[in-house]
Structure 1
Amino acid sequence: MQKKIGYDARMIENSGIGIRIQHILKFWSLNSKEAKLYIFGDPSRLKKYDLPKHAEIIPYLTKIYSPKEFFGHPKMAEMDVLDIPHFNVPLRYLRKCIVTIHDLIPYHFKETHASIAKRIYLQIVLRSIKWFAKSIIAVSKYTKDDLIKSFGYRSETITVVYNGIDLHNFAKHPTAKVNSFLKTYHLPKQYLFTVGIGKTHKNFPFLLSNLEVLWKQGTLKLPLVIGGISKEIPNELLDFQKENPNRIFFLEHLPYDLLPLAYQGATLFVYPSLFEGFGFPVLEAQTVGTVVLSSDASVLPEVLRDSAIFFDPKNNQSFQTKLTSLLSNQKLQKETQKKGLLNANRFLWKNVLKPYYQLYQPILKES
């Protein structure tokens, strides 16, 4: 008997979660004879992406994190399974939900969900998922362990399904194409690159203050390019740019197919994050051969293993020493680059999604 699977794709254009949604739908491999796929979301957005040909789109425009979300969409009542790619679940249909949890950043960094209402929402949802969800997916072992430690989830109820990399998009480009990209976007020929502006856990004040010290000392010549800017640039960053002319550049939000060029043009990719559930950017950098200098916090050692140079994201000396020594050591850069390419290949979508589809097999056989 053909099962009806509903997939909530409303966040398909969000960073991180959106990339996962896009690629799960792009590489969807469940047999259409066994499972009919219904995609819930905004049709005007969904039509921009590579969706399974047999899938049916159901308009669903309810806002993320709104009370109305608890009730879901009326069509969800007809589904055998609901695949919810974030913890914003329809509580009404929770017993038929496979829920993916990316991280507990809203729980650990209270400013992301500062109001009492949002804090209560978080507690209700995460505890409800623990007790009533059909299945639970975490995008890393770190997130799985965090759910166990912070909310008392049982280990055996959580399946780890990593995020992946799409080599059709993230692959090295000819040097001429990279140079043309740099010229078009008025970027320097050599630079440090980072992404993730505007969120406390991304640790930007730490990064900028340390770079400013090295620039003023004359120890560092390379400027910094900041990518991932989708809204207005914060005033404090504009002020920092004025104080450090020709040393900081802002890169507007790029189409996904141009992102590899921004990474590839960089001398180093620097990631000072205090907390991640997975960390797409470090793998994106490695896939195009860019060396990664990463924080050693949360999930990053799990994802990167020995393929990056790590620093303590709360220790100024650790960061400054690791950055300057890496830039002065060409041999270490080449060794790290090779390890990075090998590491990124561990996360090809076709491989990382195997446990995801294995999770569906007993569900498809249910009578």
Structure 2
Amino acid sequence: MRINYFFRHPKVGFSIQRVFQTVNLGVKKVFETEETFLPNPKSNIPAIFKNGMFARKKQLDINHITGDAHYLLYFLNTSKTVVTVHDIMYYSYLSGIKKKLWKILYIDSLTRAEKVVFISEFAQQQVLNEINLAQNQYSIIPNPVSPDFTLKPKKFNKVKPVILHIGGKMERKNLARTIQALENISCHLRIIGKLSEKNSQLLQECKTDFSNAFNLTNEEIVMEYENCDIVNFPSLFEGFGMPIIEGQAVGRIVVTSNIPPMNQVAGGGAVLVEPTDITSIKNAYEDIITNAVFREEIIQQGIKNVEKYKLSTITNQYATLYNELIEK
């Protein structure tokens, strides 16, 4: 059996690619797999048609749309096609004809898939609020944590902890409130991702001790987790929240949002905050830095929680799904 993983163009973003190339590490031990990248990064009608016709020629025994390009379901043999849905948050920002067209391409198209996989309960509910899917047509399979992230215990720096923040420019990553919450707390804020002008100015105003890096390799990102004391992820919205389980896998305490899906993914192994409340974020950091017993309890719960996101566990779930399709 041959499986083709269809990825959006690399210029659109690497997050989905990173997740499913990890999935493929496990799946290719069981099945023959290929990875196909769409040729056009744009999302206008000519680009969608070009990508669709390209994908049609690349079909194998099972086609797996890894995310984003749900419109490929109008071009592929849907009886042998799986699509993974990460989120449809962009839909909520649209209006008028653009919103109607986006729904046809990215939401209504899901009814054509043989199997729809959601990465979280939150992503599933988003879609089911918009369309009806047969109960046997969909399931939840979470993202796996890469085997590159392994437990690396580190003595906590309670004098000046290093706080790792992934995502510089994206407003939903909530860097601005983090900067404000950390004002007058002794720490070093390590920011991965390009900074916006607004956040650069805020860092100066709050006199934050920080450093910034971007365009890192996967190996360098793993090192950032290992070198930090705390992982900061009080995001305003996500389809899943990879930094939560990556931090847990390395053995770092994680700060994340007390909203779905982050609080679900964390599984009791993170300090939960109200992401729009600067005081809530500040209080969390003060508790973490001053309370060693609390800190260690959360870390151990995180190590326990991340077991269910191990690659072997997720690979087995996908292997079962693929076998079901072939047997039909």
- Provide TM-score, normalisation by structure 1: 0.77
| Cα deviation digits, residues 201-249 of structure 1 (max 9, x gap) | 222232223223xx2xxxx11131111x1xx532112222332445222
- Residue-by-residue CA offset, 1:300-352 (whole Å, 9 max, x unaligned): 12111111111111223322222212211011111111111121222111102
The alignment status of 1:102 with 2:86, answered yes or no, reads yes
Query: What CA distance in whole angstroms lies between the structure 1 residues aligned with 2:303 and 2:283?
Result: 24
2:145 aligned partner: 165
Structure with higher Rg: it is 1
The DSSP-based 3-state class of the residue aligned with 1:287 is helix
Residue 17 (structure 1) shift: 0.7
CA contact (8 A) 1:313 1:319 kept: yes
Q: Structure 1: any 5+ residue segments left out of the alignment?
A: 42-59, 176-187
Give the equivalent residue in structure 2 for 1:136. 116
Aligned counterpart, 1:62: 40
2:282 pairs with one of 296, 314, 320: 320
TM-score in terms of structure 2 length: 0.86
- The 5 A counterparts of 1:167-206 are 167=147, 169-172=148-151, 190-206=161-177
Greater shift, 61-70 or 252-261, is seen at: 61-70
Instruction: Give 1:158's aligned amino acid.
Output: Y
User: Would the aligned equivalents of 1:165 and 1:349 in 2 still touch at CA under 8 Å?
Assistant: yes
Q: What is aligned with 2:178?
A: 207
Contact 2:56 2:76 in 1 (8 A): no
Deviations 1:144-175 (A, max 9, x none): 122112444444421111111123x1124587
Q: What secondary structure does 2:107 align onto?
A: helix
Separation in 1 of the partners of 2:125 and 2:153?
A: 41
Which residue identity does 1:85 align to in structure 2?
Answer: T
The alignment partner of 1:82 has SS state of: strand
CA distance in 1, matches of 2:259, 2:66: 24
Summarize the Cα distance change of 1:171–1:94 in structure 2 as closer, same or farther, 3 Å threshold: same
How big is the shift at 1:31? 5.0
How far residue 358 of structure 1 moved from its aligned partner, in angstroms, is 1.2
Contact 1:192–1:270 (8 Å) recurs in 2: yes
Name the CA shift for 1:297/1:74 in 2 (closer, same or farther; >3 Å): closer
Deviation at 1:63, TM superposition (A): 2.1
Which deviations, in whole Å up to 9, do the C-alpha atoms of 1:255-282 show, x marking residues without a partner?
1112222112222112110111111101
Number of residue-to-residue matches in the alignment: 319
In structure 2, C-alpha distance between the alignment counterparts of 1:233 and 1:343, rounded to whole Å: 32
Which secondary structure does the structure 2 equivalent of 1:345 belong to?
A: helix
- Structure 1 Cα separation of the partners of residues 63 and 207 of structure 2: 51
Structure 1 residues 301, 233: closer, same or farther in 2, change over 3 A?
A: closer
Q: In terms of mean alpha carbon deviation, does 66-75 or 262-271 score higher?
A: 66-75
Alignment of structure 1 residues 225-264 onto 2, 5 Å: 225-227=190-192, 229=193, 232-245=194-207, 247-264=209-226
- Alpha-carbon separation, structure 2, partners of 1:77 and 1:285: 37
Q: Which runs of 5+ in 2 are unaligned?
A: none
Aligned-pair Cα RMSD in Å:
2.8
Taking only the aligned residue pairs, the percentage that are identical comes to: 18
